[in-house]
Structure 1
Amino acid sequence: MAENNQQGQEKTEEPTEKRLRDARRKGQLPRSRELVTVVMLLGGGLALILTGSYMANRFSQVARAAFSAPREMLLDESIMAGYLANSVSEGFLALIPFFSFILLAIILSSLALGGWVITGEPLLPKAERVSLIKGLKRMFSAKTLIELLKSVLKVVLIAGIMILAISYFYKEVLSLSRLPLKSAVSDSLTILSIAVLSLGGALVVVSLIDVPFQSWDHRQKLKMTRQEVKDEMKETEGNPEVKSRLRELQKELANQRMMDGVPDSDVIITNPTHFAVALKYDLDRAKAPFVVAKGTEQTALKICEIARAHNLPILQSPALTRAVYYSTKINQEVATELYVAVAQVLAYVHQLNEFKAGRSHYPEKPATPEIPEKFQR
């Protein structure tokens, strides 16, 4: 059953990738104790088969040495202490291969479902762990019912396997006392390995139920309400209103920087009011004339206003203005096909400056420039 959040909204949305990553970072992963148990039993049974002969030899050597110790050694405490330490170390060495298999089984079972993550988050104290209400909810939840059914099934399976194992190996177990030490230890390990493998195989049924349930239960816990999804999107991608405002501020700053460059322009060409482009020719900055500023409507009027305030020439050339506006970005050189048209404008500006300085007569305005067809819009 889907839980409700504090606002009463039902958690119907699948967890997002961010929600899953955050849960993993906190150590919230799907875990199946039944899978770990089964893999440990099967791994332990296999380990007993593979290492049984080795352990039987080592244990029989330890036992033989213990039972054949001379009487003088048994009465000497200093010798017995060293002998005991040696026996313990020999026994430990005999068990290392077996426990290595068990450790490998634990690692593989953990990686199979959820993987590994190192975090101290689960160790932190949380109020919900001591909450009476939440505790009662956990006691009477669907998960508790599943756990109860699994426990009953495990008891039935384990009891059945034990009864079958005792019935099947009854005579062999009774005959172990009549066998030589090495054979008795080896046969005991063989019987134990078969019993453990049988038990692990039986519990596979429980793990096949538990693994899908744990994965489903984990995702159910991480499900989100629609509002939580929206809030996460705002947090991740940014609030749309804030982003829009930031774009506006960035645009204003860019326009301001552009307007600051208008007084350094050589000429302003216009449409005459809908478009305006500020051009400059400076060999120290570019090999060809480049656009200092451009704009339409209110921006175009502002460019012209700044130009008049600084006594910059303003030339109406609708076709050339539109061509440069659409084909050239700010601080970019004009297109090669427009060099001639722009050169005519700059030549007129140069002659106009010469006239203002009293070194030439008033120039004639340049003829309407020819604009290549691909620039005509």
Structure 2
Amino acid sequence: MSTVSPADAPSVEDLAPVFEVSEVRREGDRVVYVGRPRAPPSTIESELAPLFYERGFDLRLAARSEARAPRHVLIATRRSIGIDGVPWKNIALALATVLTTLYAGTVWYHIDVTAEPLNLLKAWPFSLAILTILGVHEFGHYVTSRIHRVDASLPYFIPIPPPFGTAGAIIRMRGRIPSRKALLDIGASGPLAGIVATVVVTVIGLSLDPITVSRSVATSDAARIEFAEPLLLRGLAWLTSQPLSYADPTKQLHPLVFAGWLGMLVTFLNLLPVGQLDGGHVLRALAGPRQETVAAAIPAVLFGFAGLLLLFGDATVEVGIWIVWGVFTTVLAFFGPATPIRETSLDRKRQAVGLLTFLVGVLCFMPIPFRIIV
């Protein structure tokens, strides 16, 4: 039995004010402190976690029942923020998303791939635009996670069939977030970086000549999708003096404009203030534990919004997006938000960044993102 801490871990004396240590042992990359709390167990982690965090450890308190008396253990695990080995799953999903976005691009470019499958490659600008928007968004999170020494995975892209080709991308936050400041930085960096890429892609798309389709395609009786115009898209069209529609039905907006539109939709959905969505992170950093009250109301708001659109709006199946997200946010609200180790409030600069982030979401909002015209 030892009561001497390893040199790289906090000492017994460091813990003494809130935790009386009777034994210390090393278990691989973990340091285990056995003893009894001198403060309420619910406060031990928040009291000691910053001390361990500075030494490169994540901390967890656990209770162990024994015949003589219950004991508590502090388990300090060495934090790793590097990438171990080749991230094959990330690579495979990224390659799959390249294929699905290429295929989705052939829909918007009206490229026929049935006779010549290699025509798929002609849709590369659309695929590159989508992957750039999503990649910049997720690497915004990843870089700030590394800055704050929080363990996070590389992005996982999510491939789906056309017309979108992707459902976005995510990163996994495996480490504890040290403070509300770090939570705000990590949560806001993705949407803010992603919206810059979205604006660039959209402006490029607006500046390019519209694509031309045959009159038979333009006047076809087949169902088509009509997309809404969020405030940000309208503003960019106004600033660039470019139209968002054409009187000639054979002319259609360049597919890069649709890629920007998709970036705006993904940004808004990510900024819903619930669970571990980006909006949930930002609001948790701004409002503290009160964020959970807001998050609990979000599913009801989405279901109610869908109901109002069905009753009073000119839409039916299109409102399914809000029903689906109502279910999704219900699950997210149940599991709760990320909880920072330190609950220190934010300075005015970061409060402004948080409000700016939600303003971006407002500019990307679309009551009915798309309509199916039959």
- Give your verdict on TM over 0.5: no
Structure-1-length-normalised TM-score: 0.24
Which of 1 and 2 has greater Rg? Answer: 1
Q: Which has the higher strand share?
A: 2
Structure with the larger RCO, 1 or 2 (CA within 8 Å, 6+ apart): 1
Q: Which has the higher helix share?
A: 1
Structure-2-length-normalised TM-score: 0.24
